[in-house]
Amino acid sequence: MKKILIIGATSAIANACARHWVTQFENTQFFLVARNADKLAQIAADIATRGAIGVHSYVLNIADSNAHNSMLQEAILDLEHIDIALIAHGVLPDQTACEQDVSLAINEFTINATATISLLTLLARQLEAQRKGTLAVITSVAGDRGRVSNYLYASAKAAVSTFCEGLRARLFKVGVHVIDIRPGFVDTPMTAHLPLPAALVAKPDAVAKHIVTGIKRKHNVLYTPSFWFLIMFIIRSIPNFIFKKMKL
């Protein structure tokens, strides 16, 4: 039996991961967390229909870090332990609006970085006590470099990736694995309004399949689709005197 906690369970990628896990494991129990109660209920019902032996849903405003511990305590009461914890929440800020509004910039950073670090800290304590399990968090290829078009989002994701690197080294010593998942462009509601190059846009199901395989194989950092590793290697290699003139 696998016991899986998914935070941000209504995201297209997280939902697809849950469907893959139901197929991969003979018996799977889920604790699903998200902000939208109606959508969460629909996803929970779908996962149960697909064969999960137990699905518990929990409504949470991720930005409220004071509520994180209560959520985790209920998850432990329901699951007893956690085999896989996937943090998949996030928002794509309006960079221009954030440049003009400090409170908006801080709020967007809180959702993408501070709230995630809060959850990682609490989950790390739980998995450390268990001395087993996998802690997976979806960051972004955007965190590899601060581009002028989305540097608030990029800085939040970079903060989480750096936090994960240190956390991975800490938890490795007690048998817990931490995987930093860095998707590129994915066809989701969050990116629907963006003029993205079609050749670089992946479907959520394909990304989820890659994530599920990456967790199983204990990858440390997973670029998905894989070609983003090369793309970001090139972008990271551009000298600053050139990079600052580019409109990426």
**DSSP 8-state code for residue 155:** H
Q: Work out the burial of residue 119: count CB atoms within 10 Å of its CB; fewer than 13 is exposed, 13-18 middle, 19 or more buried.
A: buried
Q: How many residues does the chain have?
A: 248
CA atoms of 51 and 62, how far apart (whole Å): 28
Active site residue 153: yes
Task: Quickly list DSSP for 12-59.
Answer: HHHHHHHHHHHHHSSSEEEEEEES-HHHHHHHHHHHHHTT-SEEEEEE
Active-site pick, 58, 151, 153, 223:
153
Please give the positions annotated as active site: 153
